[in-house]
Amino acid sequence: MTPSALMTATARHLRVLGRGATLGPDDHAILTAKYASLHAMLLEKRLVSWALTESIPTSCDEPVMRMLAAMSADEFGVAEPRYTRLIVLGALGANPASLAEKQLRAALAPAHVEGSVVTTYF
């Protein structure tokens, strides 16, 4: 998913953009700034494997979109109870971890190696 597509998907997830509508320049600027901030936080936590301007890997686009929506919900005036739901599902650094953070960590974790290794003692 490209960063531009992420902005559109996030606006739709926030329910501030209808189907077939295009994102206005002001809303796009807000989401772009929020995404830059989110990317920096993810980079600090080593939860990002792509540059800010690069496409987001397919396995990571949904969790990143949920995190961006959680960060932007207040800015776009999302009302309760949807606001709380967005935060619970997408907040970064929450305790316990949000669904989006768990999904992102799982997507970026090294592959699990099946089987055991025989230990040789000398």
Does the pLDDT value for residue 10 go beyond 60? yes
Residues 60-93: tens digit of each pLDDT? 999 999 999 999 999 999 999 999 999 999 999 8
Q: Considering all CA atoms of the chain, what is the largest pairwise distance in Å, rounded to the nearest integer? A: 69
Distance (Å, rounded) from C-alpha 93 to C-alpha 100?
10
Angle, CA 85 vertex, CA 56 and CA 8 arms, to 5°:
35
Tell me how far apart the terminal alpha carbons of the chain are, to the nearest angstrom: 52
pTM of the model: 0.85
- Which residues 6+ apart lie within 8 Å of 49 measured at CB? 57, 60, 108
Distance (Å, rounded) from C-alpha 63 to C-alpha 89?
9
Burial of 94 (0-12, 13-18, 19+ CB in 10 A): middle
Please give the pLDDT value at position 20: 81
| 58-72 and 25-44 helices, crossing angle to 10° | 110
Residues 17-51: tens digit of each pLDDT? 888 888 899 999 999 999 999 999 999 999 998 99
Question: Lowest-pLDDT range, 51-55, 60-64, 106-110, 115-119?
Answer: 115-119
Q: Which DSSP category does 72 fall into? A: H
Are 31 and 72 in contact, with CB atoms under 8 Å apart? yes
